């Protein structure tokens, strides 16, 4: 049998066109503490079918999350709105890059229906960066929050947003929709931004999180970084201080994993005891909630963590 691929009338577009000509970056072999089982449970299949039936994207799939099997088995999916194509090209990220399609006006309602079908008590909504939109997609976030509230009034909502860089008034639109948790990840330490996250600005992201609390102090704020990208310990501790200066409640720290050989290499696999150390230090700095482990990701165990976050706030208020 001969397979013919027409690359003239229907050219095959690479997932990361900006990385095609980069030299391969080799990472060291994964240690035992990083390995996870392949997803093959009934719960995983059910979640996948609901996602497909509603025409939705998830960051679990697009970013190649190692925890997808565990989370989807429990019907915990993190929905990625505004398409599957990002306008930025971060060196660590496996989400497709390029010029996105127009927004799908039916998407907020489709997400709400999927949340209802999955019976989620807590849902995480994230998105690609949409620098092509005048508001960076802020109104679409707000519409999605409102649709979920209407369909599932008891479901708590956590959002993981882009930085809305140079989109005046965008943050205010999202905060006005009153998510329960506002998450925006710093991803790495300032010294690595030009290499790892060149389209973003570290102190803009810190200010974004601080501004959320100024607009609505009742909203929990959250941020996360990856380690293993060449950062130093003292830089991680400084990030903690910077986030606390913005009154951020919840910090996540996880191991960076290289999606392909064209992405940024893993410089080091950080052992579990170092994650435990980071967690202890972060609590001393005043975070209400800290999750630090090799496989920690922003939305991993988000529902359970939200309950603990509320309890921690209540305890400090006594």
Give the annotated binding-site residues for [4Fe-4S] cluster.
60, 65, 71, 86, 90, 93, 299
Cα radius of gyration rounded to whole Å, the chain: 19
CA distances from 251 to 6, 20, 106 (A): 48, 34, 33
| DSSP helix/strand/coil, 169 | coil
- The burial class, CB within 10 Å (0-12 / 13-18 / 19+), for 289 is buried
Q: How far apart are CA 60 and CA 71, in angstroms?
A: 9
Annotated binding site: 60, 65, 71, 86, 90, 93, 299
Look up residue 7 and give its two tokens. 């690359």
Look up residue 267 and give its two tokens. 């410089």
Q: Interior CA angle at 11 toward 8 and 16, to 5°?
A: 150
**Helix residue spans in the chain (DSSP H):** 42-53, 59-62, 68-73, 107-118, 138-151, 170-176, 193-196, 202-215, 233-245, 272-284, 302-317
Which residues are within 8 A (CB) of 233 and not within 5 positions of it... i.e. 6 or more apart? none
Asked if 288 contacts 313 with a C-beta cutoff of 8 angstroms, the reply is yes
| Sheet of 289-292, strands arranged across | 57-58, 78-81, 122-127, 156-160, 181-183, 220-227, 250-255, 289-292
């Amino acid at each position: 049998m001969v397979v013919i691929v027409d690359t003239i009338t229907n050219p095959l577009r690479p997932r990361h066109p900006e990385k095609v000509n980069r030299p391969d970056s080799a990472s060291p072999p994964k240690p035992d503490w990083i390995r996870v089982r392949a997803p093959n449970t009934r719960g995983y299949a059910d979640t996948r079918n609901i996602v497909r039936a509603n025409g939705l994207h998830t960051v679990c799939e697009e970013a190649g999350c190692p925890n997808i099997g565990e989370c989807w088995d429990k019907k915990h999916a993190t929905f990625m709105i505004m398409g599957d194509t990002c306008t930025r090209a971060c060196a660590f990220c496996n989400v497709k890059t390029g010029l996105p399609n127009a927004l799908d006006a039916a998407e907020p309602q489709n997400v709400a229906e999927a949340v209802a079908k999955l019976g989620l008590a807590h849902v995480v909504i994230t998105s690609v960066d949409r620098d092509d939109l005048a508001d960076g997609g802020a109104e679409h976030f707000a519409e999605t929050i409102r649709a979920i509230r209407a369909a599932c009034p008891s479901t708590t909502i956590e959002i993981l947003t882009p930085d809305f860089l140079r989109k005046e008034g965008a943050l205010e639109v999202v905060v006005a929709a009153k998510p329960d948790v506002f998450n925006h990840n710093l991803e790495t330490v300032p010294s690595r931004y030009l290499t790892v996250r060149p389209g973003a600005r570290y102190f803009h992201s810190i200010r974004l999180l601080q501004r959320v609390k100024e607009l609505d102090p009742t909203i929990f704020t959250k941020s996360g970084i990856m380690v293993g990208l060449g950062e130093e310990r003292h830089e991680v501790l400084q990030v903690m201080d910077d986030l606390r200066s913005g009154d951020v409640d919840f910090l996540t720290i996880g191991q960076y994993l290289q999606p392909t050989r064209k992405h940024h290499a893993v410089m080091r696999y950080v052992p579990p005891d170092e994650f435990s150390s980071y967690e202890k230090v972060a609590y001393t700095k005043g975070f209400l909630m800290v999750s630090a482990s090799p496989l920690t990701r922003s939305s991993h165990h988000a529902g359970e963590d939200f309950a603990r976050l509320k309890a921690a706030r209540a305890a400090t208020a006594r």
